[in-house]
Amino acid sequence: MPPRWLIATVRKTIALQPPPGIASTADFFPFRLGEALSVDIEQRASSIDCRSLSVAFAGGIRAVDDVHLTVGAGKILSLIGPSGCGKTTLLRCMAGLQDATEGEVILDPPVPAHHGNISLVFQQPTLLPWRTALENVLLPLQLTQCLKKEQRARAESLLETVGLANAMNRFPRQLSGGMKMRVSIARALATRPQVLLLDEPFAALDDMLRSQLGELLLELWHAERFTAVMVTHNIAESILLTHQVAVMQHGQLAKVLDNPLPWPRDPELRTTPQFGQFYGRVTQHLKGDA
């Protein structure tokens, strides 16, 4: 455990804005140093604990049925399963957008809901068409009443990080599908959330773009170290981007698999036997053969 004075210094450093000429806090505060002090940085993130979580809809349909799931602080977990198996409902419960019929979602350390501590990236970019890219990123800060000058700088910095430095003042209709999703991700990170939830964020994009945005997500995770839960249908994506893969079937959690692939993740990992073996295991659980 690093000494307290060092932790305090690092905290102050993280809170600082990058000096002129440096694009983002990620450049200013190199990733390697962040990894070395990950004990402190991960304290920003919350772990998610779903206890006996069930959601029943009218007509007695149980979209989520007695789910017990724990996502470690600063870890990434993917939820994978066939359509209609309850992935999105579970994610909405974690976001506080869906009330559970039974059970509860506990964040540790606890954070107040609806204050930007939990962010969600939707399947569609869901940008407001009358707002520019920058104004869309600023929206969560305006809603949570914490828009200050330095936060505007953070929004600009996030847009630079996602590669949209030259498109900040463009309206959503002037952006491509991939650019819109980048804005959506930047918006989700504007409030420095402890938990980032992603609901099939790359489903509508082509493979190349999907791969690029996956890499971008990992870069952002390295810099911000949030806890992330990502719903996806794509097995390769669920393996490459995460620490754990949770397989869902008929509203229930069929299996949570620890991802054996080493970090840092590289697209080249797809060609390794380890990747192939894990891919096979996930597929088996998806088919229910395991």
Partner 1 sequence: MVPSRRSIADPLISLAMVIGVALVAGLIWQLVIDRFDLPKALLPTPRQCWAAVMSHRGTLLRGILGTGLAAVSGLVAAVILGSCLAILFSQSKKLRLALFPYVLLLQTVPIVAIAPLLIIWSGYRFRTVIIVTVIVCFFPIVNSVTAGLLSASREASDLFRLYGANRWQRLWRLQIPSAIPHLMVGVRTSSGLAVIGAIVAEFFIGDATSFPGLGTLMMGWQALIKTDALIAAVFASALLGLVIYGVIQLLTGFLLKRWTST
By CB under 8 A, tell whether 62 contacts partner 1.
no
By CB under 8 A, tell whether 147 contacts partner 1.
no
Among 74, 86, 140, 214, which residue interacts with partner 1 (rule: CB under 8 A)? 140
**273 to 33, 127, 277: CA distances (angstroms):** 31, 40, 6
By CB under 8 A, tell whether 201 contacts partner 1.
no
- Kindly report the backbone phi and psi dihedral angles of residue 62, in degrees, each rounded to the nearest multiple of 5, phi listed first: -95, 100
By CB under 8 A, tell whether 169 contacts partner 1.
no
Q: How buried is residue 130: exposed, middle or buried, by Cβ count under 10 Å (0-12/13-18/19+)?
A: exposed
Among 46, 119, 151, 157, which residue interacts with partner 1 (rule: CB under 8 A)? 119
Indicate the SS3 state at residue 254: strand
Among 130, 149, 208, 273, which residue interacts with partner 1 (rule: CB under 8 A)? 130
C-alpha 275: how far from chain center: 22
Among 3, 83, 173, 258, which residue interacts with partner 1 (rule: CB under 8 A)? 173
| Longest CA pairwise span in the chain (Å) | 58
Start-to-end CA span in the chain (Å): 40
Q: Is the peptide bond before 140 cis (omega within 30 degrees of 0)?
A: no
Among 63, 100, 120, 282, which residue interacts with partner 1 (rule: CB under 8 A)? 120
* Separation CA 289–CA 285 (nearest Å): 6
By CB under 8 A, tell whether 55 contacts partner 1.
no
Among 17, 70, 144, 252, which residue interacts with partner 1 (rule: CB under 8 A)? 144
Among 74, 86, 116, 178, which residue interacts with partner 1 (rule: CB under 8 A)? 116
Minimum CB distance to partner 1 smaller for 143 or for 290: 143
Minimum CB distance to partner 1 smaller for 5 or for 130: 130
Which tokens is 241 given?
């981007």
Q: Which residues of the shown chain bind partner 1 in the complex (CB under 8 A)?
A: 92, 95-97, 113-116, 118-120, 122, 124, 126, 128-131, 139-140, 142-144, 171, 173-174, 191
